[in-house]
Amino acid sequence: MSLLVHYTLKSETDHKAQTAAMGVLVEGLKSEGIAGLSYSCFSTDDPLRFIGVLEFPDDATKQGFLESPSFAKYREAVGPTFANPPQTTEITAIASTRD
C-alpha cells in the first residue's frame, strides 16, 4: 500500500521552512523505527508545490506513521503554511528498480 501526497504552500517564503521541516520529519521517523515505512518527499519546479510518496507494507504500519510523534510535530509546525489540505491518492507499485 502506498500513498502519493500533493500539497501546496501559501507563500514562497514558506519554502525554506517546509524543506527544513521535512528533514526533521524524516530524521524523527528514522529514530522512531517504524518497521516497513518508506517516506520520500520531493520539491517541484514550482517552489510552492511538494510531493510525498509513502509506502507501507500493511495498515498497521500506515497507522503507526499517522500516529507517530514526528508526524504530529510536522503537522503542527507546517500545517498552517499549506494553501489547502494535502491531496492524497492511493497508488500501487507495478514495477521498480528498487530492491
pTM of the shown model = 0.86
- The residue whose grid cell reads 502506498 is 2
Whether pLDDT at 98 is above 90: no
Class of domain 2-91: alpha beta
pLDDT of residue 1: 87
Which band of pLDDT confidence, cut at 50, 70 and 90, is reported for residue 41? very high
CB-based contact 93:18 (threshold 8 Å): no
What's the mean pLDDT in 67-71? Answer: 96
What's the mean pLDDT in 15-40? Answer: 93
Q: What are the cell numbers at 45?
A: 519546479
How far is residue 23's CA from residue 27's CA, in Å, rounded to a whole number? 6
What stretches of 1-99 show up as alpha helix (H) in DSSP?
Answer: 15-32, 59-66, 69-78
How far is residue 38's CA from residue 81's CA, in Å, rounded to a whole number? 24
Q: Where are the domains of the chain?
A: 2-91
pLDDT of residue 14: 87
